[in-house]
Each structure stands twice: as C-alpha cells, then as structure tokens.
Structure 1
Amino acid sequence: MLGNANIEKDGNGSRFAFYQEKINGEHLLRIHTFLANRGYCLQNKPQIYTRLIKGGKVRSIYRFKTFTYSSFNFIYELFYINNKKVVPYNIVDYLSPLALAIWIMDEGGKISSGLKIATNSYTLQEVKFLCKILNDKFGFDARLQSAGVLNQYVIYIPKKSIKLLVELVKPYFHSSIIYKLK
C-alpha cells in the first residue's frame, strides 16, 4: 500500500487496485499470479493500458483489481482518511523485509550512489515518520529529501546503508527489477 497500489471502497467491501509501468511489469504480474492463485482476483493476465502524459509521451501501464471483500475494509480504514491515502500510525508492524522489497520495487530508484523511494503523495510529517521507522527498525540512515516540487518529498537511502538494504530485500526481488539495487 505504500507503493503502487490503492484500495477502493466498493459497496460494503473494499478491493485493491495495483498498477505498474510496463517496463517493471514482471513484478506486477508476479503479484497478480500470487493473488489469482489464491482466488483474490481473476486468472486473466492484467491488460496494458496507455495514457498520454506531459510532452506527448505515452505511458504503458499494467493494472488489475482484486475482488471486493468486506475483510479488506480494515486495510482501507488504516490507509485512508477522508478518501486520502495516508501512512498508518502502526505501519511499523507491517513493514517487513518483504514489504520493504515490494515498496522499493514499486517506488524505488537508483540515484547517485544511493536509492530513493518516491513518497511524493505523503505529507512532510509522514515522510519523516517513514524515515524514522526505516532507521529504527532496519538500521538505515534514511533521509528526507525534496522531490523538487513544492511540498513533495522522497526518502533517500545513502550509499552507507545500501549494503544492509540489499541484504534485507534482495531475496524478495524479482529478477527483472533487480537493477534498482545495483
């Protein structure tokens, strides 16, 4: 939920909506297969959607949704306040090495000799909170950085924390997206 996923209210239940750029589509297809094999969504392979962005570029995106379940409502209630996605107060309880790997596969990117995690939609306080959790729970030196846009921030993990980060998340990384850790 910290990355490229949303949860939507639908009637009396909630459903997840996953999306990922086509270039990183194998990661999303792995999530889809995991969920489809457990009966949470259709078996059909996610379709590629295109949309026009600034500068006339076309983005190709895989997208799929799960079925709607009332048992997903508690997740919606954790991550949304007034229909706005937020960082839950108890995210530390859910942020495992696997969850961190998925978050980085969704929103991570190599920058300089470190790694950034896009957190542009979160508030300054939320990004500071996430940095504190990453530092306290995993021993990183995660730092807040401006995203270059007013009131948007990213998490930067510097070179000195990369070895530890890679040791934690590499076992969960899909081979098609391992480049984000190099």
Structure 2
Amino acid sequence: MTSQKLKKFEKLTKLQCEVLVGILLGDASLQTESNGRTYRLRISQSEQHKEYVFHLYEIFQNFTTSAPKQYVFTDPRNPRKHYSRWSFSTTQQACFRFYGHQFYTGEKKTVPKLIHRWLKPRSLAYWYMDDGAQKWKGKSLGVRFCTDNFVYQDVKGLAQVLQEKYTLKTSFEKKNENWRIYISSYSYNVLKNLIFSYFIPSMIYKFPAQSSDNPCSGYLN
C-alpha cells in the first residue's frame, strides 16, 4: 500500500484498538522517530507463531506498506544454531500517538492508569495469545501471563484489574528478577468463556485443554 493511500486511514477501528491494547501488554511495541508526534507499531514473533504474525498483519494492514518478513539469526553462544523470527512494522502514524503516550514513559513500557477501562475480552485474548502460557506445562488448568516487561506495581495493578473486572482468581509471583501474573485453575471456565472464541487456530495450543483432553486437568491452582 502506498504512503499516499495510507493517509486515508487516520483512525483506528474498534477492533484495532482492542487488539492493540492486548498486544501492547504483550510483546508488541510502539516506536517514535518524531519525539512522540507519530508512532509505528512493531510486531515480532518466533517462527512457531508465523500464522499469528500474519493474522496481526491483516488487522493492521491498512497502516503498512509491506508484508511480514522472516529474519534468521545466529545464536551467539552456538554459531551452528540458527533461529528465525517473523516481523513487520506499520508506518509512522498519528493515530498511535495516544497509545504511545499511555503505554510508555520515555522508552520504558508501562501500564496505563485507565487499563481497567480498555481491557476488553478481545484485548485479554490477544494479550494471552501474545504472552500467555499454560501453568506447569499443562499439568494444571491454571495459566500465566509473562509480564516481564513491567515493574512490580504495574503487575500488581494488572492482577487487580483481572480480579475486579472479570472475577478471575489471580496471584503474582517473582520469576528471577521479574514478576508474572498467574490465574488459578478455579477461574478456568470464566477465563475460557471470556477469551477462547477470539483465538486463532494456531494459538489454541497455548490454552489448557479440559477433562478427557487433558489427563492432568485434575491438578488445581
């Protein structure tokens, strides 16, 4: 899409806003080269999540000029080992400015004060697809959010929003130097009813399977 045509798309749709909130809580980033006047959205995921990257590209395609690309890297610890990521960026857009100012203090990502208003079920689903995982490698119906990019107070606030807005039983624990949010298996059905319908097929594996589909589903917490 040419830059001339991109000028027609000045506002984010409701869908784009809800998805953007979720992925900014995850691994997506906003970058500015104009001292905060405009921002571009940057998406980068592992080879395993290629389909998810192209799915996000379709959502934000009206702000892009090129499709996702594969980048191959060499492991600095083992030159014989290579790994790849799929990435794309939008162009610099004023419509991302509000979110850039809300989610960043300087170059440091932070949780907006009004996240309790913006965290819709769709946002929660994309946050999970972006940065969620099964707890204890599937030996529980509990899940976790890898909130490693946020400071303790931000993680505590997010856990409180999940508990108060969606009645999810949450806790947060320290992993090395970072904090992560855990959602108890007691909240499995509530969480699944909130977010599972938004999952794309290739990301369903990230969510715990129940009963006969999961022989370990009797484990709680």
TM-score by length of 2: 0.76
Residue 83 (structure 1) aligns with: 107
Larger C-alpha radius of gyration, 1 or 2? Answer: 2
Map of 1:62-81 to 2, 5 A cutoff? 62-81=86-105
1:110 pairs, out of 116, 134, 137, with 134
Residue 215 (structure 2) aligns with: none
Once the two structures are superposed, residues 11-70 of structure 1 have per-residue CA deviations (whole angstroms, 9 ceiling, x without a partner) of: 24111101111112211211101211xx2112x431111334475353321111111112
C-alpha distance 154-55 of structure 1, shift in aligned 2 (>3 A): farther
Map of 1:100-179 to 2, 5 A cutoff? 100-112=124-136, 113=140, 114-147=142-175, 149-150=176-177, 152-179=178-205
Give SS of 1:129's match. Answer: helix
Give SS of 1:122's match. Answer: coil
Give SS of 1:88's match. Answer: coil
Once the two structures are superposed, residues 84-124 of structure 1 have per-residue CA deviations (whole angstroms, 9 ceiling, x without a partner) of: 11011111111011000000001011112111110011111
Q: Which runs of 5+ in 2 are unaligned?
A: 1-23, 209-221
Structure 1 stretches (4+) deviating beyond 6 angstroms? none
Coordinate RMSD, CA, aligned: 1.4
TM-score by length of 1: 0.91
Once the two structures are superposed, residues 111-161 of structure 1 have per-residue CA deviations (whole angstroms, 9 ceiling, x without a partner) of: 1211111001111111000000000111101110111x12x0111111111
**Shift in Å, 1:179:** 1.0
1:6 aligns with 2:29: yes
**Shift in Å, 1:10:** 2.2
Moved more, 53-62 or 18-27: 53-62
C-alpha distance 9-140 of structure 1, shift in aligned 2 (>3 A): same
Q: Which runs of 5+ in 1 are unaligned?
A: none
In structure 1, C-alpha distance between the alignment counterparts of 2:83 and 2:185, rounded to whole Å = 31
Give SS of 1:10's match. Answer: coil
Which letter maps to 1:48? Q
Residue 23 (structure 1) aligns with: 48
In structure 2, C-alpha distance between the alignment counterparts of 1:169 and 1:18, rounded to whole Å = 21
Residue 57 (structure 2) aligns with: 32
Which letter maps to 2:39? S
Give SS of 1:120's match. Answer: coil
Give SS of 2:168's match. Answer: coil
In structure 1, C-alpha distance between the alignment counterparts of 2:109 and 2:59, rounded to whole Å = 24
Which letter maps to 2:29? N
Give SS of 2:63's match. Answer: coil
Residue 82 (structure 2) aligns with: 58
**Shift in Å, 1:79:** 0.7
In structure 2, C-alpha distance between the alignment counterparts of 1:53 and 1:158, rounded to whole Å = 36
What is the number of residues matched between the two proteins? 177
